[in-house]
Amino acid sequence: MYPYSLRPTGRRERWHLKAFLLGFGVSVIFFLPFILYDQGYFLYYGDFNVQQVPFYQMIHDAIRSGNFFWSWTTDLGANTIGSYTFYLLGSPFFWLTLPFPSHAVPYLMGPLLMLKMGCASLTAYLYLKRYVRNQNTALIGAMLYAFSGYSIYNIFFNHFHEAIIFFPLLLAALDEYMATKRRGLFALAVFACCFVNYYFFTGMVAFCLIYWFVRMFANSWKITLGEFFWLLFEAVVGVGLTAVLLLPTVLAVIQNPRIDNPPQGWGALLYGNEQRYVHILQCLFFPPDIPARPNFTPDSNAKWASLGAWLPLFSMSGVIAWLQTQKRDWLKRLLIILFFMAMVPILNSAFQLFNSSYYARWFYMLTLMMSLATVRSLESVQVDWKRSIKWTMGIIAAIAIPIAFIPQEISNDDGTTTTRFGLMQYPDRFWIYVAIAFASLLLLIIALRFLKRDRKMFYRVTMVSVSVITVIYAAYLIGLGKAQSYDTHNFIIPYSLNQGEDIDLPDSDVESRIDIYEGMDNQAMFWQMPTIQAFHSIVPGSIMEFYPSIGVTRDVGSRPETDVYGLRALTSTRWLFDYTGDTEEFESSTNSSDTKMPGWSFYDTQNGFDIWENRYFIPYGFTYDQYMTREQYDNIAESSRHLALLKAIVLEDDAVERNKDILTQAPTDSFRYGEADYYQDCLNRKSDTCSTFTRDNYGFTATYTAGAQDELVFFSVPWEAGWSATVNGEEAIIEKVNVGFMAVRVPANTESTIRFNYTTPGLKAGALITVGFLLLFAAYLILMRKWDQKHPKLHRKIYRIK
């Protein structure tokens, strides 16, 4: 029984600084060798290399140049705020890069991760320290949280660490309000968590509701109706303060069809992949697999699910000890609820707005509760550590032995089968995971010998042991990941991180897009060149609508194959880059004049790539003579639609009525789709284009000279609600055409200046809402301060832990 308050015991600066430096220092030890090996960069594999690094540099450069609204280098074009709030716009760590020049940003990725690890240790300490008598115990828990399996796994997803850092502050602020009714702190914590990452905030809301109700029903807290009202008020204010980012982001995200996918039927109650249950259990007792390479359960269908919750050194021993010794404790109840929710699909999905796509990206919340149970076990005289360690070792063995020795048949490439022992995918990695799991517990047994007889030595031995295990398993996982990566020294560093400085193309003032043939995801983003390829989950809904209409899958990325070659002409794609260091070649191996798409010719080899030029490139801003209705378009074979879009423009019904006087309806039944027809259609479109096209930070400007009648000028820029247009200074109607792009009508016999401006939908309204809530919050603090001064006893009452 001890005070439940944010007010620390001991010297405040020393303990807080120690918490940060421990997390930072240990991370330096396992990150630094890889940074030195990669010439000052930290490069990992997969999403980290092709999303985190180019996203950071590209948006850093955009903001420094004043481009806050439209990203020309994200897919076919995207709302910058809507597309990048999830990844980095709300992150204070991203904003730390702005004082640095562009070329320095990739070098900052490693140091920023170290900083994040230190901050995670600090914030976990801030939450845990109120529950312990000795602050060294809280430091141990902070290290367990900062270097849990979830944290190390999600180095792959760099932006997940912001949630790991800010979540403990949310719980600490909630605890402080419930204990002392301290005003404003909870609102600020809600604001910080929501502003940093809206996706993770939805999970935090679900967790906080469970956390609050469990503690209330366990009589851990007391609250009056009035105090509850002000708590709810602070939560609303905290969310309202984020409106400047949250509102435009929500308006962008709701366009994505992936969000409307709730669990249904048996899929809401049971996972369809039985191995997933083992995977969930395994992640509690073993270091995590690297993303996309599940080892223990190769068919669990959870490759990027962030399944990691292992605590270095302690594993589940501290959690099991707490569960064994407590009867009516709120933390025991909460842990049981969380473990149960992890096993039921619909309950697991509650942490991501009930989306059926399987993710365990809320497990950082679980690891914080597991760390809390572990540190409380360390200070409990009731705990039988010998029994809990035996249970932990037994479960580890119960998982490992069947996976290691049950036989299975393996299909060979020649059609034969081979029987081998073991269900794991990679036996060598499996035994290393098992060795680390058991070695951790053996080190723990040694450390626990000092627990009762020499507490100071116990803390030293335990902290060193946690640090050693962390460095070993973190370095091993990073090394495994790097082994799956593109060749960093011979490819990424010289040809991607150079920002395309060695690329020199003619007519550089002519706007166009590029294509990457069978290359690394987001290669063009490293060079900050407009492209038709993108690995990015959050893009305008019009892109998500357009690509499937021509038979191109658009889920987390745009990767159109060469069979939709008409797409390149439609989207003003002039150049194609084919990396010389791989076996996939754009040029036919049997005929040097034959390419994987018609109409391309070799230009040069630069920056490690063969460069091909589209001889039938059509500049931005061209016109049509014919139109087809959406019904006509839908009746065309999907495989031919990319070519049909070069023959006639697709108009929605309302646009037909406005423009049928200048366009004739196309006889789509008579369309021909041979190569010769494709060439002629490209030449027809190219014969009547804008004389100039210039993009800038606020949109684009084009000039077009019409003939004897009005013309509808098409731009392959994704339609979005934030666009407005003028023609010769007069407001013009933007038509949504070609299933997701834009066109505007220009007058006859006139050289017209066409201007498109983009303003992020919801940004102005969001800013006004934020200002309004800021004023409301200030008034609340002033009024509550006066109230608390008049009623000091009500405000100063401190509840105690039960």
User: What pLDDT score does 793 carry?
Assistant: 59
Segments in the chain below pLDDT 50: 1-11, 590-592, 796-802
Q: How far apart are CA 137 and CA 447, in angstroms?
A: 13
Q: How far apart are CA 441 and CA 533, in angstroms?
A: 47
Please check whether residue 477 is in contact with residue 484, taking contact to mean a CB–CB distance below 8 angstroms.
Answer: no
User: What pLDDT score does 593 carry?
Assistant: 62
User: What pLDDT score does 798 carry?
Assistant: 45
Please tell me the pTM assigned to this model. Answer: 0.94
Q: How does 284-323 read in b/e, with b if 16+ C-beta sit within 10 Å?
A: bbbbbbbbebbbbbbebebebbbbbbbbbbbbbbbbbbbb
User: What pLDDT score does 330 carry?
Assistant: 96
User: What pLDDT score does 256 carry?
Assistant: 80
- Residue 490 one-letter amino acid: N
pLDDT, one tens digit per residue, over 173-218 is 999 999 988 999 999 999 999 999 999 999 999 999 999 999 999 9
pLDDT, one tens digit per residue, over 94-131 is 999 999 999 999 999 999 999 999 999 999 999 999 99
Q: How many CB atoms lie within 10 A of CB 477?
A: 25
Q: How far apart are CA 531 and CA 620, in angstroms?
A: 13
Angle at 107 between CA 112 and CA 496, to 5 degrees: 125
The first and second tokens of residue 556, run together, are 């987390």
Please check whether residue 577 is in contact with residue 609, taking contact to mean a CB–CB distance below 8 angstroms.
Answer: yes
DSSP 668: G
Please check whether residue 301 is in contact with residue 273, taking contact to mean a CB–CB distance below 8 angstroms.
Answer: yes
Rg (CA), the chain: 29
Q: Is 406 left (phi over 0), alpha (psi -120 to 50) or beta?
A: beta
The first and second tokens of residue 632, run together, are 């006509």
Q: How far apart are CA 689 and CA 620, in angstroms?
A: 7
The first and second tokens of residue 697, run together, are 């930070």
Strands 513-517 and 417-421, sheet pairing: unpaired
For residue 129, give every residue at least 6 positions away whose Cβ sits within 8 Å of its Cβ, in sequence order, or none. Answer: 8, 15, 135, 138
Q: What is the full DSSP assignment across 320-358?
A: HHHHHH-SS-HHHHHHHHHHHHHHSHHHHGGGGTT--S-
DSSP 595: B
Q: How far apart are CA 293 and CA 273, in angstroms?
A: 16
Q: What is the full DSSP assignment across 194-256?
A: HHH-HHHHHHHHHHHHHHHHHHHHTTS----HHHHHHHHHHHHHHHHTTHHHHHHHHHHHTT-
DSSP 721: T
Please check whether residue 316 is in contact with residue 285, taking contact to mean a CB–CB distance below 8 angstroms.
Answer: yes
In percent, the amount of the chain with pLDDT more than 90 equals 88
User: What pLDDT score does 9 carry?
Assistant: 46
User: What pLDDT score does 535 carry?
Assistant: 96
Q: How far apart are CA 678 and CA 566, in angstroms?
A: 8
Taking Cα atoms as reference points, which of 151, 481, 524 lies closest to residue 307? 151
Torsion of CA 346, 347, 352, 357, to 10 degrees: -40
For residue 554, give every residue at least 6 positions away whose Cβ sits within 8 Å of its Cβ, in sequence order, or none. Answer: 543, 544, 546, 547, 548
Strands 711-715 and 723-727, sheet pairing: unpaired
Q: How far apart are CA 19 and CA 12, in angstroms?
A: 11
Angle at 416 between CA 415 and CA 421, to 5 degrees: 130
Q: How far apart are CA 547 and CA 554, in angstroms?
A: 6
Helix (H, G, I), strand (E, B) or coil at 158: helix
- Residue 166 one-letter amino acid: F
